[in-house]
Chains A and B, each alone.
Chain A
Amino acid sequence: MNKQKRDRVYAVLCTVLTLIFIAVMLFMVGELPPLGRADNPDINEVVEFYMEEGPEETGALNAVTGMILHYRAFDTLGESCVLFVSAVCVFILLRIDGEASNDTLVAIDRRYEPTGDPILTQTFKVLVPAVFMFGIYITMNGHLSPGGGFSGGAIIGAGLLLFLNAYGLEKTERFMTSGLHRRITALALCFYAIAKSYTFYTGANGLKSFESAGTPGAILSAGLILPLNICVAIVVAMTIYSMYIMLRKGGFNK
């Protein structure tokens, strides 16, 4: 068989396979209970417990934050580690070491930097306080209102990318060096792991822990949820920034 014929057979096979798959899945969805009924089997005692006991036990008014940063905090630690490990993988794959010649850098378009774009810099001047303040607000109010470490960190990371694109790598690296990036990410992950190990250890052994739910509704309440939210936000913001800088430029300059 020549190559064109083989390609066509492959395409037809893939299409048929996908259509069969879609048909089976649609048939299965038809058997699921109707959407939105309050007596569906997925509304069970787990949801009831998280909603009715959660806010008082954890002190977080936002039940989702209370769930992911208190009851299932190790799962969220795993997520932060997944982000960190993927940032390290991107670093390993794309790093350009110092000895790379200038020709290679020009050839792969890593050092080209259109700085001083008037639209971008003016937009940045207007938006920078709003973007960073909004990110910090979402992070700090994760236990009281919609939001949390992941969304707040993503907004702060987007603000850093805007800074990088408006003013270039040189100005950004006055504060965002690779050393700061490494230290702050490792510190956030270590603090998260140690703090959560402590509460799980004391909780499992019935010891007295310094963590308490506090007054629900106050900004300094809900035990460790606020510091853990800040740790997650740091990891997410640094990961977004470092992934972008690796894909775009192949590494930090200093």
Chain B
Amino acid sequence: MSIFLSNMPEYAAMILFGIGLSNLMLAKNLIKKIIGLNIMDTSVFLFLAAKGYVDNTIAPIVTVSDLGHIDSALYTNPVPAGLVLTGIVVSVSVTAVLLSIVVRLNEEFHTLDIDEIIRILRKRDREDLQ
């Protein structure tokens, strides 16, 4: 129980990841699929941010008077912050490209339902064969 309480953000991140994954697989609407992917991204950021946290420390920004005798035990871990930054950039880029593909699909098929799009495409294939 104590490990559950102390690792709460990591448990929450894993459950969020599962929610996003099931959303990605089960949602028929393409926009909802992208929202699921974004939930997965966010859960990974939560996990990384939680890994960087250290009790009773401050943000990794030193003051001028500290220079020369900096004690790294006073500050949180700066490495996950850099990793989360990379993750956010990739997440934003992937979301933008996916959304523009969805805009194109909607212009072509006038629907956002992935099953409907596949049905229309199969129908077109059959008509081409005949």
Contacts and interface: CB of A to CB of B under 8 A. Distances in A.
A binds B: yes
Interface string B69-87: 0111101011101100110
A245 B101 CA distance: 15
Interface residues of A, number: 56
Contacts of A55: 62, 67, 70
Q: Provide the main secondary structure of the chain A interface.
A: helix
Contacts of B52: 42
A51 B52 CA distance: 14
A179 interface: no
B55 A51 contact: no
Contact of A89 (B15, B63, B79, B100): B100
Contacts of A64: 60, 78, 81-82
Interface string A63-90: 1100110001001000100110111011
A34 B3 contact: yes
Interface stretch (A19-27, A115-123, A131-139, A170-178): A19-27
B6 A36 contact: yes
Nearest to B55: A36
A35 B10 contact: yes
Interface of A: 11, 14-15, 17-19, 21-22, 25-26, 29-30, 32, 34-38, 40, 42-43, 46-48, 50-52, 55-56, 61-64, 67-68, 72, 75, 79, 82-83, 85-87, 89-90, 93-94, 108, 145-146, 150, 216-217, 243, 246-247
Interface of B: 2-4, 6-11, 14-15, 17-18, 21-22, 25-26, 50-55, 57, 59-64, 67-68, 70-73, 75, 77-79, 81-82, 85-86, 88-90, 92-94, 96-97, 99-101, 103-104, 107
Given A79-B85, A150-B85, 18 more contacts: A14-B25, A30-B3, A35-B53, A38-B73, A43-B77, A47-B77, A51-B70, A51-B75, A52-B70, A55-B67, A61-B62, A62-B60, A63-B62, A83-B92, A90-B100, A93-B100, A94-B104, A150-B89
